[in-house]
Structure 1
């Protein structure tokens, strides 16, 4: 895993030392650069595969030059398929050889996670590309015919100093993360997952090409029996795990919680690596999954470690945790992710995880009602009745209670706007408090996508799963994990985001994912083959973060210092009086939602002060 940076027609005084310093945590093992004509490429390397000198980057091959961040897990299979041979086993070299053979059609062949810049010095073309899910980040600043691209926003900002986009900040506050291409800055966009860009380095013209569309996979329903689907899922996941172990020259470990996603990955990994290293995190005040994880570790004889994490230094660490992201981040699970990655680095450099399983197979409890009702197109009486009930019923305060669940369902049904429905069903921040905004959220990109998805002849559940993949997973969860792991020079690999599974899971019938009120039905069935019975029906918990407690105690002082500062940024976007009323509990809102909104705005302020 690595960090990449580059420029075309550079008009900025960017020092090599500044770039390497900013990306060193992504690649502490080696650093290299390349310059030809008007193109400069920079690379910092975390050596995982082909640890010899032949894996160094930038890598050159027959007039092609590449800086590559990621792993191509099936690259040796592709060498055999296309008759490619070389002394080095580097997957980076495979990319160059395959590009020479079939060009950018090679992307469709890859099972991997990647972001790369490939410079064809003969045809004077620069190619920037990302994988299907968007596991590896790539941000692009474009001004006229000048381009700067980077694995991280912080390094790009320090290089180019782009202006803040206040309209984008309003959208961030409403949704809780930046949607798709959006960033906090003018002239800076994120290259989307499943896309590549071709830049003519002579003229500066660029073309954005979509090579993988997840929505196409959801529109292509598979007519497959349940037993056949179960067998294929078993095979696809085992192949994905096997590739992610074999394509590393270091030991690969596995995160092991008490859930079925990490349990399945660990069980399959233990079949491909002897004495697999596993570890479970134990957090005071949260549900203790270590006993359940221990049952899996014992069954498969793993080298198991329980790591206890406390948050005693949270007040001192919180600003660093947030500012590492390079943009505001309302996902408070970034806090435990930071500490988990820090502890994991003491044991391993490469770790398997279960990212993507919930979004592909229906793992969240909020998916259940969308299996049975079309909340994206509720009838008139449903909207009216739900709206009236939410006005007279007491506010739901208990996070995991059935009443809270029912209350949120009524909120979904009471909205006519698909954007409000989605934001309420996901982040649940400012929906209903639109009058607090001074700069009104435009939400143009997400509105267009939701309207398009709603026009497809697919089920409400598929619409929500598709939206979560393109929004929640791509724009929030994967960046969070990338920053947490790479911040500690550790590589996370996600078998559920393998090429074969991304092509297979979306087309499965809804009842294979949600059966009555049972989430992840097909995964739970598969788990019977591999896991102790106690794990199979466990509800999804994730990290049970005591955000309310943190907001009112551990983080209270630092948060109020930012939120009540006379030079705060957010009063340009939302009314300061609204936040002050939230702080003093003068607004009728659940404690959990109050804490989430305050943390969302606090994150904005920490990001801004770190610039």
Structure 2
């Protein structure tokens, strides 16, 4: 696992500023503390920070072809690299190393841009081919590894593993992108392809870029997508057996390492499934790491301990203070743009713990997206059943009126909090799901933003992110559609971003067997009614795991990696959030309505309304401005 950077002069005329390249590379030293190298030639500069995991002796980068006409910088792991190496050797390719980096380079020489279709793993890389005068970038199928880039008006193209790396380039402005601001306050993160800055972008998952001397625009091209193509009907037992077989193969392929390897174990279904499969593959005890909380409401450590004991793992656990809120500035520096998922705090802590024991950790991320495990899928499908029975022409006026009139009863039991449901039922499937997952719904953002900022947006709404992806969806099944939307937004923009930055902050490589793209393809073809059945999410996944995990681990209510956010903002963080929400720096942006900011703070602190998610997003935005923009 590594960090990569590059500068490409599309005019083909200028020498590269080596000092600027060095600053870019060293800004992400934490991603690869073992080694760092730079390479420059006319119109090209590449840099690499290395965390040594495979081929410790000869895996240095940038790596060159035998005639030095092609050079690569690469971040990731290709799990089928040995099979590809054998295939390439049979074609006459000669290898100088045993690294998967060289496999990717030789794959480019053999298959050109289509080399990415042959790779199975997590990766982001850049290749310069002098003979073809071509710069090629690619990001893995589901977006486990990041890639940021910018093409500047002067003709310089810069790229890197983290936003901070390209933002060190002196010509890149820190002007905020208004659309990205709107998206952040809707989703809690900035979805691909935007970043918070005006002329900086994320290469979306499953995309590649080919750029040549003389090009004046960047056109990312999609090479893969989650297919959601229904497979022929089969007996449930056959599906269960194939699921376990495929999962075992994915886990086994990702256990290859020349350094200590272990796993996260939260006690949830997905991480427990990965540990169970690891235990089948290795005679030695699996090293597992988990954190617990000193508040029983948020603690799941008993289930992690149960799985650890059952599989005789070498288990390392740490109890975290539920008031562990001292990381706010650290998180802003790690993420480089506002990021409002508060579970970034425990994620940081579990990565910190794991790195003391291992260099590589397997994670259970991805199971909820593939097998419909999130609670919101149950809510969305229940709402869809109502939509299917009533035409939009009837639903919109009736439920729209109910949504406007019904109070936002945050203080009431969940069964009486109907306002959001009424508002969702007045919308179609995509709009309803957007409304359900937004940390700050349309009516709240309308009050949050100033008139001046709303004018800058020119009518743009974050719903357009979902609308764009829905228009390209390979499925119109309601459950599969919202899973697809999560694969395009929530998974890469929030979940994988959170884990990548938290793990790389500690120079820890995290692998995600459930997101092997061939496993994702297969799971997407399963019937929706065996993913979510009778209100039970991940139905087929859990049934398949019954021989391996206890009923309590599989079927207890999901807690998630949550923290007591509402309590923090009414207690120990009360003055911090008040100061941040009303800070001159925040207000001087012209983005916000000061009166509504003040109302949110006072209403939440008084306990009249729960504005915890909106206030946390404001706090993280203010911290981002202070740490990453005005530092």
TM-score by length of 2: 0.89
Q: Equivalents in 2 of 1:50, 1:502: separation in Å?
A: 28
SS in 1 for 2:374: coil
Q: Which of 546, 556, 560 in structure 1 is aligned with 2:574?
A: 556
Structure 1 position 188, deviation (Å): 1.1
1:446 aligns with 2:462: no
User: Contact conserved, 1:237 with 1:501, CA < 8 A, in 2?
Assistant: yes
Q: 1:415 and 2:427 equivalent? A: yes
Find the aligned partners of 2:421 and 2:244 in 1 and give their Cα distance.
Answer: 34
Q: Does residue 48 of the first structure (1) align with residue 57 of the second (2)?
A: no
1:581 aligns with 2:599: yes
Partners of 1:417 and 1:296 in 2: how far apart? 38
1:78 counterpart (81, 84, 92): 84
* In structure 1, distance between residues paired with 2:430 and 2:406: 23
Aligned CA distance change for structure 1 residues 80 and 331 (closer, same or farther; 3 Å): same
State whether structure 2 residue 277 is matched by structure 1 residue 272.
no
Q: How do 1:242-257 residues align onto structure 2 when only pairs under 5 Å count?
A: 242-246=252-256, 248-257=257-266
Residue 237 of structure 2 is aligned to residue 227 of structure 1: yes
State whether structure 2 residue 168 is matched by structure 1 residue 158.
Answer: yes
Q: 1:457 to 1:483 in 2, by over 3 A?
A: closer
Equivalent of 1:95, from 97, 104, 110? 104
Worse-matched range after superposition: 540-549 or 125-134: 540-549
Correspondence for 1:546: 564
Q: Deviations over 1:215-249 (max 9, x none)?
A: xx025555444223222221211111001102x11
Structure 2 unaligned blocks of 5 or more:
none
Q: CA deviation at 1:121?
A: 1.8
Matched, 1:608 2:594: no
Q: CA deviation at 1:512?
A: 1.2
Report what 1:175 is aligned to: 187
Question: Hey, what does 1:6 align to over in structure 2?
Answer: 6
| Structure 1 pair 110–376 and aligned structure 2 pair: CA distance change class (3 A) | farther
User: Which residue of 1 is the match for residue 61 of structure 2?
Assistant: 57
Aligned pair 1:306/2:296, yes or no?
no
Structure 1, 565-574 or 460-469: larger mean CA deviation: 565-574
Q: What is the aligned partner in structure 1 of residue 118 from structure 2? A: 109
Whether the 8 Å contact between 1:69 and 1:115 is mirrored in structure 2 is yes
- Per-residue deviation, 1:418: 3.6
CA change 1:428–1:314 in 2 (3 A) is: closer
Cα offset, 1:116, TM superposition: 0.3
Say whether the 8 Å CA contact 1:383–1:413 is kept in structure 2.
yes
Match of 1:430 among 427, 434, 441: 441
Once the 2 structures are TM-superposed, how far is the Cα of residue 497 of structure 1 from its aligned partner? 0.5
In 2: Cα distance, 1:427 partner to 1:366 partner: 11
Distance change >3 Å, CA 222–CA 371, structure 1 → 2 = farther
Does structure 1 retain, via aligned residues, the 8 Å contact 2:328–2:623? no
Q: Deviations over 1:362-411 (max 9, x none)?
A: 01111124335537876333344433444454534369x65267654333
What is the CA distance between 1:473 and its match in structure 2?
0.6
Residue 199 in 1 paired to residue 225 in 2? Answer: no
| SS across alignment from 1:122 | coil
**Residues 360, 41 of structure 1: CA spacing in aligned structure 2 closer, same or farther, 3 A cutoff?**
same
Q: Whole-Å Cα distance in 1 between the matches of residues 308 and 466 of structure 2? A: 45
Question: Does the 8 Å CA contact 1:423/1:429 hold for their aligned counterparts?
Answer: no
Q: Structure 1 residues 353 and 407 mapped into 2: Cα distance closer, same or farther (>3 Å)?
A: farther
Whether the 8 Å CA contact 1:48–1:249 is kept in 2: the answer is yes
Distance 1:586 1:284 in 2: 25
The correspondence for 2:33, drawn from 28, 31, 56, is 28
Query: 2:583 and 2:535 mapped to 1: Cα distance?
Result: 46
C-alpha displacement at 1:325, in angstroms?
0.4
8 Å contact kept, 1:195–1:208: yes
Aligned partners of 2:349, 2:122: CA distance in 1, in Å?
Answer: 23
| Partner of residue 222, structure 2 | 210
Secondary structure, counterpart of 2:532 in structure 1: coil
Q: In the TM superposition, what is the alpha-carbon distance from 1:301 to its structure 2 partner?
A: 1.3
Matched pairs, number:
602
1:19 aligns with 2:32: no
Alignment of 1:314-353 (within 5 A): 314-315=325-326, 317-353=327-363
Shift of 1:558: 2.4
Report the CA distance shift for 1:570/1:535 in structure 2 as closer, same or farther (over 3 A).
farther
The one of 112, 134, 143 aligned to 1:125: 134
Give the equivalent residue in structure 2 for 1:481: 499
Is residue 586 of structure 2 the alignment partner of residue 599 of structure 1?
A: no
- Give the alignment's Cα RMSD to 1 decimal: 2.5
Which residue in 2 is equivalent to 1:387? 400
Distance of aligned partners of 1:529 and 1:404 in 2 relative to their CA distance in 1, 3 Å threshold: farther
Partner SS state of residue 585, structure 1? helix
Residue 25 of structure 2 contacts residue 49 of structure 2 at CA under 8 Å; is this kept in 1?
yes
Question: Structure 2 CA distance, aligned partners of 1:609 and 1:12?
Answer: 29
Contact 1:182-1:189 at 8 Å conserved across structures:
yes
Matched residues in 2 for 1:390 and 1:191: separation? 38
- What's the offset of the Cα at 1:109? 1.8
Unaligned runs of 5+ in 1: none
Of residues 225-234 and 325-334 in structure 1, the stretch that sits farther from structure 2 once superposed is 225-234
SS of equivalent to 1:47: coil
For residues 557-610 of structure 1, what are the alpha-carbon distances to aligned partners after superposition, in whole Å with 9 as ceiling and x for unaligned? Answer: 222222211232576223111110001118999844x01101111111111112
8 A Cα contact 1:43 1:58, kept in partner: yes
Q: Residues 393, 430 of structure 1: CA spacing in aligned structure 2 closer, same or farther, 3 A cutoff?
A: closer
3-state DSSP class of the match of 1:50? coil
Q: For residues 429 and 588 of structure 1, do their structure 2 counterparts lie closer, same or farther at Cα, with a shift above 3 Å needed?
A: farther
Contact 1:38–1:201 (Cα < 8 Å) also in 2:
no
Counterpart contact for 2:148–2:160, Cα < 8 Å: yes
Q: Where does residue 287 of structure 1 map in the other structure?
A: 298
Tell me the alpha carbon deviations over residues 409-444 of structure 1, each in whole angstroms, 9 at most, x when there is no partner.
Answer: 33321335944x233221331332243223235137
What per-residue deviation string (whole Å, max 9, x for no partner) do you get for residues 153-176 of structure 1? 122212244222233212321232
- What is the CA–CA distance in structure 2 between the aligned matches of 1:585 and 1:398, rounded to whole Å? 12
Q: Is the 8 A contact 1:113 1:136 kept in 2?
A: yes
Q: Secondary structure at the match of 2:442?
A: coil
Change (3 A) 1:523 1:313: closer
What residue number does 1:262 align with?
271
CA distance in 1, matches of 2:617, 2:589: 14
Is the Cα–Cα contact under 8 Å of residues 181 and 196 in structure 2 kept in the other structure?
Answer: yes
